[in-house]
A and B are shown apart, each in its own frame.
Chain A
Amino acid sequence: MSSDKIRLENVSFRYPDEAGKKNDKKDAAVRGQIENLSFTVKEGEFVSIIGGSGCGKSTTLSLIAGLNKPDSGKLYIDDKEIDGPGKDRGVVFQHYALFPWMRARRNVEFGIRQVRKLERKELRATAERYLDIVGLKGEGNKYPYQLSGGMQQRVSIARLLAMQTDILLMDEPFGAVDAKNRVILQDLLLRLLEKDTEKKKTVVFVTHDIDEAILLSDRILFMKGRKIYRELTVPLPHPRDRELIVTSKHYHEFRKELFALFYDLDGEDRYENKNIEYFI
């Protein structure tokens, strides 16, 4: 028995082609979207996945969510093999996945209703509270099309948080949120996860934003070419504070290292490039 909450062992996965077939072996030139992926996430750990566009981050998340089955290899949660989706895992989708025919509040309520039986009044109050948390007080009566992209994304975050699942799988959850609300939401997530009163939540978080990854995560998985290219532990203590961490020496070294990785995707040592030096 290990303390791993989530464990992936040599997972490979390929999307079926247009004809709906997984044409394996026959043409070996076609590689899968994920190959021999292995990593673990401990209970209560916050792990970020970063990497270039199309490197398989969303796909990895979908495998953990149980939405796709691996072609080979195994995925475990609490040492039990994943068998399809489960209510222990909440997902924020990259494109929000709100029900367009439900008002914002109803969208949140609908999520809650699937995991807990609440009375009408309480259900409504809970939904309102979570909408309030993500800064959408008073917007609960709007339909998704009446909300901006960032607001829709916040509804889908409220919906996830309201479901109070042990595991949070978040696919660029702040991607469309404006700078101000992004800061608010990052702080909210930090506070929410650092509270050690309840059972701690395990988070797998996909992002493009390196600073966001550093601020939030315990560990960062850097994906490249269908697998984990580097695994980095964030050398910063909890509780985190965005103003305090920038004064830490570790922070700058770590950030430099990450940026170097991020901009070295093609193997060229672009880190030496003056422009990037300037950028860092």
Chain B
Amino acid sequence: MKIKISSILYRTIPHILFVSLLVLSLLQVHTKGLKPMLPFIVLVAGLEVLSILLYKKWEIPAIMDIIFTFITAWFVYANYLNTRVAFLFPAPNVVVEIFWGDVLLIIKSIVSSFKLLVLGFFIAIVLGVGFGLICGNVKRLRNMLLPVAEILSAIPALVYAPYAIAVLPSFWAAGLFVISSGLFWPIFINTMKTVSNLDKELYDYTRTLKLSKWDLLYRVMLPYCTPGLFNTLTMQISSAFMLLIGAEMMGMTSGVGWYVKYYVDFSVYKKVLAGFITIGILVSIVNACMTLVKRRALVWVDTKRQNI
């Protein structure tokens, strides 16, 4: 009996929070008018509808709990308790209003950042895996380059960003360089190590087939490296964001990093907050893409044995 009550309570918490948020919003409508509150109400209602539609999927209501609790706390604090420094700590309804008004710019920023990040990943993967495969196969090169690579990979790529900006024709190119070079080293090192540790029997089998060098690289070593590659990418993704945002803040004129930096300079903190949330959205998109690609590329890996 006790369990039942608590589980009912648990299920209804997000809805209770939703209703109270709605009531609070309507109170705000009373003082501020409908127009500034409308986007927020639409968003909250949208989240509620989503949680009801996806209610069968266990994680969604759980996430909703957190989201609604967070929004409620933020709403109450910003609108009722912290009224004196409102510009430093804008209310969620204000931030949502920003999204509403800036929606095109924000989408443009996300697309721009996403493009830069994907391009950076692409370049780093092509070069890192390409050179990794070649250098991993040549013992002399490997012994020569591994120590160098390990030193260079430890230097944060943002350190040479100013230099890149000075040398390269545009801020955009410099940003791309910083991101791809930051990702390049770990990918390069990992590929090189994996290749040089190719399973002995597998390698012997390819030798009995007299595989051409190209087939060996492309059909055997490349797939052999992919699980390690994805592990590296997953580990590097947060540092990639750091490089991305950092590069965008350093002088680029588009992207989520730029968006935040631009309004920090003007002290428009409600937009800065909107920027933070935008970064969160971008991170989610990138993570989702990564998971999707990974799942497709690594169907052949036994996930019970190998932690991918």
Q: How many residues of B contact A (CB 8 A)?
A: 20
Least distance between B247 CB and chain A CB atoms (Å)? 35
Least distance between A237 CB and chain B CB atoms (Å)? 33
Least distance between B227 CB and chain A CB atoms (Å)? 9
- By the criterion CB–CB under 8 Å, are A67 and B211 in contact? no
**Cα distance A91–B210 when bound, in Å?**
12
For A114, the chain B residues whose CB sits under 8 A away are 209-211
For B211, the chain A residues whose CB sits under 8 A away are 114
For A85, the chain B residues whose CB sits under 8 A away are 207-208, 210
For B204, the chain A residues whose CB sits under 8 A away are 62, 65, 67, 91, 93, 97
- By the criterion CB–CB under 8 Å, are A93 and B210 in contact? no
- By the criterion CB–CB under 8 Å, are A145 and B301 in contact? yes
- By the criterion CB–CB under 8 Å, are A143 and B208 in contact? no
For B151, the chain A residues whose CB sits under 8 A away are none
For A144, the chain B residues whose CB sits under 8 A away are 300
For A70, the chain B residues whose CB sits under 8 A away are none
Chain A stretch 90-138: residues in CB contact (< 8 A) with chain B: 90-91, 93-97, 99-102, 110-111, 114
Given the contacts A97-B201, A101-B223, A145 and B302 also touching, CB distance less than 8 Å: yes
For A99, the chain B residues whose CB sits under 8 A away are 202, 220, 223
A87 an interface residue at 8 Å Cβ cutoff?
Answer: yes
For B220, the chain A residues whose CB sits under 8 A away are 99
B305 an interface residue at 8 Å Cβ cutoff?
Answer: yes
Chain B stretch 291-308: residues in CB contact (< 8 A) with chain A: 299-302, 305
- By the criterion CB–CB under 8 Å, are A91 and B208 in contact? yes
Chain B minimum-CB-distance residue to A100: B300
For B201, the chain A residues whose CB sits under 8 A away are 93-97
For A96, the chain B residues whose CB sits under 8 A away are 201
For B210, the chain A residues whose CB sits under 8 A away are 85-87, 114
- By the criterion CB–CB under 8 Å, are B208 and A89 in contact? yes
B87 an interface residue at 8 Å Cβ cutoff?
Answer: no
For B218, the chain A residues whose CB sits under 8 A away are none
- By the criterion CB–CB under 8 Å, are B223 and A67 in contact? no
For B160, the chain A residues whose CB sits under 8 A away are none
User: Per-residue 0/1 for A178-214: is the Cβ within 8 Å of any B Cβ (1 yes, 0 no)?
Assistant: 0000000000000000000000000000000000000
- By the criterion CB–CB under 8 Å, are A87 and B209 in contact? yes
B100 an interface residue at 8 Å Cβ cutoff?
Answer: no
Which of B205, B224, B301 is in CB contact (< 8 Å) with A91? B205
**Cα distance A49–B226 when bound, in Å?**
39
Which of B208, B302, B305 is in CB contact (< 8 Å) with A67? B208
Least distance between B185 CB and chain A CB atoms (Å)? 26
Chain B minimum-CB-distance residue to A169: B208
Given the contacts A62-B204, A95-B201, A100 and B209 also touching, CB distance less than 8 Å: no
For B224, the chain A residues whose CB sits under 8 A away are 101
**Cα distance A66–B210 when bound, in Å?**
11
- By the criterion CB–CB under 8 Å, are A143 and B299 in contact? yes
For A110, the chain B residues whose CB sits under 8 A away are 219
**Cα distance A235–B84 when bound, in Å?**
104
Least distance between B125 CB and chain A CB atoms (Å)? 17
- By the criterion CB–CB under 8 Å, are A101 and B300 in contact? yes
Chain B minimum-CB-distance residue to A144: B300
For A93, the chain B residues whose CB sits under 8 A away are 201, 204-205
Chain B stretch 219-236: residues in CB contact (< 8 A) with chain A: 219-220, 223-224, 226
For A90, the chain B residues whose CB sits under 8 A away are 208
**Cα distance A144–B199 when bound, in Å?**
15
For A66, the chain B residues whose CB sits under 8 A away are 207-208
Chain B stretch 258-308: residues in CB contact (< 8 A) with chain A: 299-302, 305
**Cα distance A91–B206 when bound, in Å?**
11
Least distance between B74 CB and chain A CB atoms (Å)? 47
Least distance between A88 CB and chain B CB atoms (Å)? 10
Given the contacts A100-B301, A101-B223, A143-B300, A111 and B202 also touching, CB distance less than 8 Å: no
Least distance between B140 CB and chain A CB atoms (Å)? 14
For B202, the chain A residues whose CB sits under 8 A away are 97, 99
By CB atoms of chain A within 10 A, which of B199, B202, B220, B223 has the most? B202
For A97, the chain B residues whose CB sits under 8 A away are 199, 201-202, 204-205
By CB atoms of chain A within 10 A, which of B205, B208, B223 has the most? B208
What are 19 A-B contacts defined by CB distance under 8 Å?
A84-B207, A85-B207, A85-B210, A87-B208, A87-B209, A91-B204, A91-B205, A91-B208, A94-B201, A95-B201, A97-B204, A97-B205, A99-B220, A100-B301, A110-B219, A111-B209, A114-B209, A143-B300, A145-B305
Which positions in B face A, CB cutoff 8 Å?
199, 201-202, 204-205, 207-211, 219-220, 223-224, 226, 299-302, 305
Q: Please name 12 further chain A to chain B contacts, defined as beta carbons within 8 Å, in addition to the given A85-B208, A95-B201, sorted by A numbering.
A: A62-B204, A67-B204, A67-B207, A85-B207, A87-B210, A91-B208, A96-B201, A100-B300, A101-B224, A101-B226, A114-B211, A143-B299
